[in-house]
């Protein structure tokens, strides 16, 4: 039954997939091992999968400076949670409205939404609108509103779900019982839409968790650093290093103590990805679903 | 019949009682799109102005196309446009070929457990931010502590100062792009492969077709619509680049700009580092207008060639 061709393909497929799998995770393993390497040993010998001297000093450093790191962690969680909540609220209410055929102008609203995917004003125009019109520079709103709150893809996904997966008869029955549109939305639509909400919620949460560009554009080190998320701390360390290497002669002007050692930097990166690495196995199928839903046209 | 009468009834019975709440629900979304998407579209006008701090954003003088003239006369702008397009061409071709190959091979893996394992781990890089990727790359490439240099040293070879040596970066950036993105496109292609009717493959097997023939004659042709959709989307973005990849991974190192600076990095540096509003807005507007034209063009071509695959 199992032909020679079958076995050959099994070997080939497994071998190639194994190579890609190892390629995908080896950098993470190196990062984790690097964060547990003794800093002096690493300075002399470089990072290795088998360091000669292990150490938890980097994590002790993080624990000691938990005031900064912990605060940025809290900020990340706050931004991701409130951003995801607002995003779901705005996306689902808008999608619900344009999914109701009775709404005059729903085609226009639908087009308005899709057009945002085709044409954007560009980064500079967005930057000027957000800073000159809405003055969000150095506020926490800068981490939540620009770009991420609602996107047309999610609107289309949710709208299609409302239209095709929720029977019209349920809404009709509720209307006969005297329910208004808002209570239909809250009592019938939302509870029945848990799968799609979980999927887009997860993807939105991930994009808030991983976002660093909004902070880069709208938060300054001087006045906005109290809102720095863990990604922005990691970015700021990068900026400081490149500042140092560009201005090596003026090093006296920079507080060198603010630049953590290499292994500490690796440890902060580990702390930054840890939640994703821990949560991922449990939510893996929702991520895959989010990609397959959003990947091809809605 | 019963359903029709209720629809008629509810339409007759003061539809405004339904419409007004619906508009209220649509309102936050409308407001957000106006703020986030439509105002910036009008904000494009700043590319035709000479921004002066004294006169403010709205009061600055119109200067016509002179910002664009300066932009296209500058070498950096030319380099960043060239880099953006070249990287995208390489990414589209290599990315498509690799993702499809990986998806097809993953589909061949018989053990469900193994294939789930492979898929989960290959997707992992997609979930982390470019900032973290820059740390991973740094662990490999740092000139004094990087793994690659210690390997070179232990082999008795000369070490490389990676962040100063631009000749390697086109390859490094391509690897990073594939590394982070292959899981995503693999999942998309795989979901389409899994959906193919098994009858075709059954029939081919009965006719004695080899696995390779099945892939060439059945899987690949059936994948065509997905590939075309993904292709239109990528061509539409051919003047955009992944800011994180080109900004974070090379750590915005000036020595590498020739090969790492794309339009998005150029716009960021011009706007935030040099406060050069004219050049940055011109580059940004060029990017969005040409990008829009590219989406329309790609869709137009696909529409003529196979209408059912066009996006709109």
Same-domain check for residues B127 and B202? yes
User: Structurally, how many domains does chain A consist of?
Assistant: 1
B58-73 pLDDT, tens per residue? 777 787 788 888 888 8
Taking one residue from A and the other from B, the number of pairs with CB-CB distance under 8 angstroms is 310
- B191 inside 8 A of chain A by CB: yes
The confidence score (pLDDT) of residue A294 equals 64
- B125 inside 8 A of chain A by CB: yes
The confidence score (pLDDT) of residue B13 equals 55
Is A151 within the bounds of a domain? Answer: yes
A211-260 pLDDT, tens per residue? 999 999 998 888 888 889 999 988 888 888 766 665 554 444 444 445 67
| CB pair distance less than 8 Å for A21 and B117 | yes
Same-domain check for residues B30 and B111? no
> B186: which residues sit within 8 A by CB, 6+ positions away?
B99, B102, B103, B106, B119, B122, B123
Cβ atoms of A287 and A276 within 8 Å: the answer is no
Is A60 within the bounds of a domain? Answer: no
| CB pair distance less than 8 Å for B36 and A284 | no
- Work out the minimum CA distance from B109 to partner chain A, whole angstroms: 6
Q: Which of A5, A48, A213 sits opposite B147 (nearest CB)?
A: A48
Q: List the domain range (segments joined by +) for residue A111.
A: 76-295
Is A271 within the bounds of a domain? Answer: yes
The confidence score (pLDDT) of residue A146 equals 92
B72-97 pLDDT, tens per residue? 888 888 898 999 999 999 999 999 99
Is B209 within the bounds of a domain? Answer: yes
Q: Which of B29, B185, B283 sits opposite A93 (nearest CB)?
A: B29
Compute the distance between CA of residue B104 and CA of residue B288 in angstroms, rounded to an integer. Answer: 35
Helix (H) or strand (E) holding B51, with range, is: strand B49-52
Is A258 within the bounds of a domain? Answer: yes
Cβ atoms of A280 and B127 within 8 Å: the answer is yes
Is A5 within the bounds of a domain? Answer: no
**Best to test chain B binding among A6, A10, A27, A298 (most B CBs inside 10 Å):** A27
Is B302 within the bounds of a domain? Answer: yes
Closest chain B CA to residue A209: B129
**Best to test chain A binding among B39, B145, B149, B266 (most A CBs inside 10 Å):** B145
Residue-level pLDDT, tens digit, chain A, 298 residues: 568 888 888 999 999 999 999 999 999 999 999 999 888 888 888 888 888 888 888 888 888 888 888 888 999 999 999 999 999 999 999 999 999 888 888 899 999 998 888 888 888 889 888 988 888 888 999 999 998 999 888 898 899 889 888 888 888 888 888 888 888 899 888 999 988 898 889 989 999 999 999 999 998 888 888 889 999 988 888 888 766 665 554 444 444 445 678 888 899 899 989 988 999 988 888 888 888 876 554 3
What is the DSSP secondary structure assignment for residue A47, as one 8-state letter? Answer: -
Nearest CA-CA partner of B241 in B56, B30, B86, B84: B84
Same-domain check for residues B161 and B272? yes
Is B64 within the bounds of a domain? Answer: no
Residue-level pLDDT, tens digit, chain B, 312 residues: 444 545 555 445 558 888 888 999 999 999 999 999 999 888 888 888 877 766 666 777 787 788 888 888 888 888 989 999 999 999 999 999 999 999 999 998 888 899 999 999 999 999 999 999 999 999 998 888 888 888 888 888 888 888 888 899 999 999 999 999 999 999 989 988 988 888 888 898 888 888 888 888 889 999 988 888 788 778 888 888 899 999 999 988 888 888 999 999 998 988 888 888 888 888 888 888 898 898 888 888 878 777 776 666
Is B291 within the bounds of a domain? Answer: yes
Is A175 within the bounds of a domain? Answer: yes
Is B2 within the bounds of a domain? Answer: yes
Q: What is the ipTM of this complex?
A: 0.89
Is B45 within the bounds of a domain? Answer: no
| CB pair distance less than 8 Å for B43 and A125 | yes
- B139 inside 8 A of chain A by CB: yes
Closest chain B CA to residue A277: B124
| CB pair distance less than 8 Å for B40 and A98 | no
Q: List the domain range (segments joined by +) for residue B268.
A: 70-309
A151-182 pLDDT, tens per residue? 888 898 899 889 888 888 888 888 888 888 88
Compute the distance between CA of residue A84 and CA of residue A209 in angstroms, rounded to an integer. Answer: 10
| CB pair distance less than 8 Å for A24 and B18 | no
The confidence score (pLDDT) of residue B32 equals 94
Same-domain check for residues B20 and B88? no
Nearest CA-CA partner of B102 in B177, B204, B198, B178: B178
Environment class of A214 (CB within 10 Å of its CB; exposed 0-12, middle 13-18, buried 19+): buried
Helix count (H) and strand count (E) of chain A?
Answer: 16, 0
**Angle CA(A151)–CA(A236)–CA(B283) in degrees, nearest 5?**
55
| CB pair distance less than 8 Å for B109 and A119 | no
- B34 inside 8 A of chain A by CB: no
Is B154 within the bounds of a domain? Answer: yes
Q: Which of B3, B43, B130 sits opposite A121 (nearest CB)?
A: B43
- Work out the minimum CA distance from A37 to partner chain B, whole angstroms: 11
- A57 inside 8 A of chain B by CB: no
The confidence score (pLDDT) of residue A231 equals 92
Is A56 within the bounds of a domain? Answer: no
- A98 inside 8 A of chain B by CB: yes
| CATH, residue A193 | 1.10.3720.10
Compute the distance between CA of residue A290 and CA of residue A287 in angstroms, rounded to an integer. Answer: 5
- Work out the minimum CA distance from A100 to partner chain B, whole angstroms: 8
User: Structurally, how many domains does chain B consist of?
Assistant: 2
- Work out the minimum CA distance from A88 to partner chain B, whole angstroms: 11
| CATH, residue B242 | 1.10.3720.10
Chain A environment of B277 (Cβ under 8 Å): 124
| CB pair distance less than 8 Å for B21 and A30 | no
Closest chain A CA to residue B269: A217
Concatenating the DSSP letter of every residue in B186-231 gives HHHHHHHHHTS-HHHHHHHHHTT--HHHHIIIIIHHHHHHHHHHHH
Same-domain check for residues B125 and B188? yes
Closest chain B CA to residue A39: B145
Chain A environment of B18 (Cβ under 8 Å): 100, 102, 180-181
Same-domain check for residues B196 and B304? yes
**Best to test chain A binding among B11, B14, B18, B26 (most A CBs inside 10 Å):** B26
Chain B environment of A277 (Cβ under 8 Å): 124
Chain A environment of B137 (Cβ under 8 Å): 27
Same-domain check for residues B22 and B75? no
Same-domain check for residues B30 and B120? no
Environment class of A7 (CB within 10 Å of its CB; exposed 0-12, middle 13-18, buried 19+): exposed
Is A158 within the bounds of a domain? Answer: yes
Cβ atoms of B32 and A126 within 8 Å: the answer is no
Is B162 within the bounds of a domain? Answer: yes
Same-domain check for residues B76 and B163? yes
Chain A environment of B28 (Cβ under 8 Å): 89-90, 93-94
């Amino acid at each position: 039954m199992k032909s020679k061709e079958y076995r050959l393909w099994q070997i080939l497929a497994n071998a190639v997939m194994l190579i890609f799998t190892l390629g995908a995770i080896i950098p993470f393993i190196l990062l984790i091992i690097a964060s547990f390497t003794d800093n002096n040993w690493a300075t002399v010998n470089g990072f290795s999968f088998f360091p000669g001297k292990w150490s938890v000093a980097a994590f002790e450093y993080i624990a000691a400076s938990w005031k900064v790191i912990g605060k940025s962690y809290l900020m990340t969680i706050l931004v991701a949670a409130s951003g995801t909540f607002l995003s779901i609220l705005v996306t689902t209410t808008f999608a619900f409205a344009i999914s109701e055929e009775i709404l005059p102008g729903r085609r226009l609203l639908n087009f308005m939404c899709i057009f945002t995917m085709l044409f954007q004003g560009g980064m500079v125009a967005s930057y000027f609108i957000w800073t000159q019109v809405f003055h969000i520079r150095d506020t926490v709103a800068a981490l939540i509103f620009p770009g991420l709150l609602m996107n047309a893809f999610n609107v289309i996904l949710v709208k299609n779900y409302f239209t095709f997966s929720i029977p019209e008869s349920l809404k009709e029955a509720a209307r006969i019982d005297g329910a208004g549109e808002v209570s239909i939305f809250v009592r019938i639509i939302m509870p029945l839409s848990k799968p799609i909400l979980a999927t887009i919620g997860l993807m939105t949460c991930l994009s808030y968790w991983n976002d660093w560009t909004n902070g880069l554009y709208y938060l300054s080190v001087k006045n906005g650093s109290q809102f720095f998320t863990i990604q922005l701390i990691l970015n700021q360390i990068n900026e400081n290093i490149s500042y140092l290497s560009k201005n090596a002669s003026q090093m006296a002007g920079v507080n060198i103590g603010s630049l953590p050692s290499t292994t500490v930097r690796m440890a902060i990166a580990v702390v930054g990805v840890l939640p994703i690495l821990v949560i991922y196995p449990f939510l893996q199928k929702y991520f895959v679903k989010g990609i397959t839903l959003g990947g091809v046209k809605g | 019949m019963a359903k029709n009468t209720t629809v008629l009834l509810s339409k007759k019975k003061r539809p405004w009682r339904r419409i007004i709440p619906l508009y209220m629900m649509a309102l936050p979304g409308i407001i957000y799109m106006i703020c986030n998407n439509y105002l910036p579209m009008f904000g494009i006008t700043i590319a035709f102005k000479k921004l002066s701090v004294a006169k403010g954003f709205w009061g600055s003088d119109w200067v016509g196309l002179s910002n664009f003239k300066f932009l296209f006369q500058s070498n950096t702008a030319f380099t960043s446009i060239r880099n953006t397009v070249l990287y995208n061409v390489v990414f589209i071709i290599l990315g498509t070929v690799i993702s499809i190959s990986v998806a097809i091979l993953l589909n061949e893996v018989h053990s469900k457990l193994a294939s789930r394992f492979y898929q989960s781990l290959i997707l992992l890089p997609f979930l982390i931010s470019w900032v973290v990727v820059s740390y991973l790359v740094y662990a490999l490439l740092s000139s004094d502590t990087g793994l690659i240099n210690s390997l070179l040293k232990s082999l008795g070879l000369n070490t490389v100062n990676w962040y100063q040596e631009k000749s390697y970066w086109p390859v490094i950036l391509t690897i990073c792009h594939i590394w982070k993105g292959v899981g995503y496109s693999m999942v998309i292609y795989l979901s389409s492969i899994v959906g193919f009717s098994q009858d075709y493959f059954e029939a081919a097997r009965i006719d004695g077709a080899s696995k390779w023939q099945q892939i060439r004659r059945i899987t690949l042709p059936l994948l065509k619509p997905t590939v075309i959709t993904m292709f239109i989307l990528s061509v539409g973005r051919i003047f955009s680049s992944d800011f994180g990849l080109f900004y974070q991974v090379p750590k915005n190192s000036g020595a590498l700009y020739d090969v790492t600076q794309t339009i998005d990095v150029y716009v960021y540096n011009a706007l935030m580092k040099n406060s050069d509003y004219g050049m940055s807005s011109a580059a940004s507007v060029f990017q969005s207008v040409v990008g829009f034209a590219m989406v329309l063009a790609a869709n137009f071509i696909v529409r003529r060639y196979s209408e059912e695959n066009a996006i709109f």
